[in-house]
Amino acid sequence: MENAASIPDAVITPRPSDLGNGFMVKRALPSAIRRSVGPFVFLDQMGPAGLGPGEGLDVPPHPHIGLATITYLFEGELLHRDSLGTVQAIRPHEVNWMTAGRGIVHSERTPDAARAGSTTLSGIQCWVALPSRDEEMEPAFAHHAADELPVLEADGMALRVIAGEVRGARSPVATRSPLFYADLLLEAGAAFRLDADHPERAAYLVDGELALPGSDDVHGAGSLLVFREGGAPVLRAVSKTRLMLLGGEPLDGHRFIWWNFVSSSRQRIEQAKADWRDGRFARVPGETERIPLPERKPPPVKYP
């Protein structure tokens, strides 16, 4: 039974996506295999990308509705600016949690000081769909330093709880729905049992290799393993491995996603498109650029 519980219900290979200026990411969610895991509807791995002197990531102002973005870095630094007037740098093991609600605009750029020399940028950005009752809440932004996040260490394992609760350790990050999100480091040969605390759970391999009892497969970096409800899969590292653990309660109904907009209403997305095209979103102080509304995109995709 234990071996069966460890076999993934789905294995997703991310597809490449260009954030702009040739900066490529690996996009694991959404996928044709699985649109969401708990409330997580989007997962991008940034880098690791080497940036030479004068180079950096530049994502000009763009809008969001109906979701929260979670930015978490392993290496490098980004500067977040938003239409609330927030200016906040994020560094490794810190958390930027931006709640879009009825609408927010933000930019993400490599700070000027970091462009003076060579640097590496590596991290994960996720989107969490807000519960339907909160889709039109006031936008908000929260930053949490690395030393605010609980860390559990034992038997070749180090686990940092980014949001929610894992093994009795609770993050101070405020969430709007039952979920968990954690950064797990395993030494070669170490194992971690993923408890059945939430109905939907997944593990994303940032680097290293992972073996699961009951299977001859070895999963490498860039794999998103989605587990079936129940059971407690055992994740065993073949080599030194980093994983992101994520999941939670299923979405409380259908969601549509189009570009940077998430909503339970197709009409609300159409309104957001018109608002961005016609300049009705708030501006980001200190920014003059903006990403234009895509001219043609497929119809909104309904989740799940």
**Which pLDDT score is estimated for 231?**
84
- Global pTM value: 0.94
Instruction: Indicate the range of 18-22, 49-53, 56-60, 104-108 predicted with least confidence.
Output: 18-22
The pLDDT of residue 145 is above 70:
yes
Q: What does the longest C-alpha to C-alpha distance in the chain come to?
A: 58
Work out the pLDDT band at 213, boundaries 50, 70, 90.
confident
Instruction: Give the angle 106-101-301 at the CA atoms, nearest 5°.
Output: 90
Three-state secondary structure readout of 127-174: EEECCHHHCCCCCEEEEECHHHCCEEEECCEEEEEEEEEECCEECCCC
**Which pLDDT score is estimated for 295?**
82
**Which pLDDT score is estimated for 304?**
47
Tokens representing 238?
Answer: 């073949």
Bin 93: left if φ > 0, else alpha if -120 < ψ < 50, else beta. left
Task: Report which residue type is found at 303.
Answer: Y
Choose between 22 and 223: higher pLDDT.
223
276 closest CA partner among 265, 255, 289, 292: 292
In angstroms, rounded to a whole number, what is the distance separating the alpha carbons of residues 178 and 169? 15
Three-state secondary structure readout of 182-213: EEEEECCCCEEECCCCCCEEEEEEEECEEECC
87-118 burial: b if 16+ Cβ within 10 Å, else e: ebebeebbbbbbbbbebbbbbbbbeeebbeee
- pLDDT 10s digits, 77-99: 999 999 999 999 999 999 999 99
Residue 84 DSSP code: T
In angstroms, rounded to a whole number, what is the distance separating the alpha carbons of residues 282 and 130? 20
The pLDDT of residue 258 is above 70:
yes
CB atoms within 10 A of CB 172: 12
Choose between 270 and 19: higher pLDDT.
270
The pLDDT of residue 266 is above 90:
yes
Sheet holding 119-129, edge to edge: 15-18, 24-29, 40-51, 119-129, 67-75, 95-99, 140-144
The pLDDT of residue 211 is above 60:
yes
In angstroms, rounded to a whole number, what is the distance separating the alpha carbons of residues 207 and 220? 7
Phi, psi angles (nearest 5°) of residue 144: -130, 130
Helix, strand, or coil here: 106? strand
**Which pLDDT score is estimated for 4?**
57
Tokens representing 169?
Answer: 């350790």
Helix, strand, or coil here: 53? coil
> Span 133-140, mean pLDDT?
98
Q: What DSSP element (H or E) covers 272?
A: helix 266-277
Work out the pLDDT band at 3, boundaries 50, 70, 90.
low
**Which pLDDT score is estimated for 8?**
85
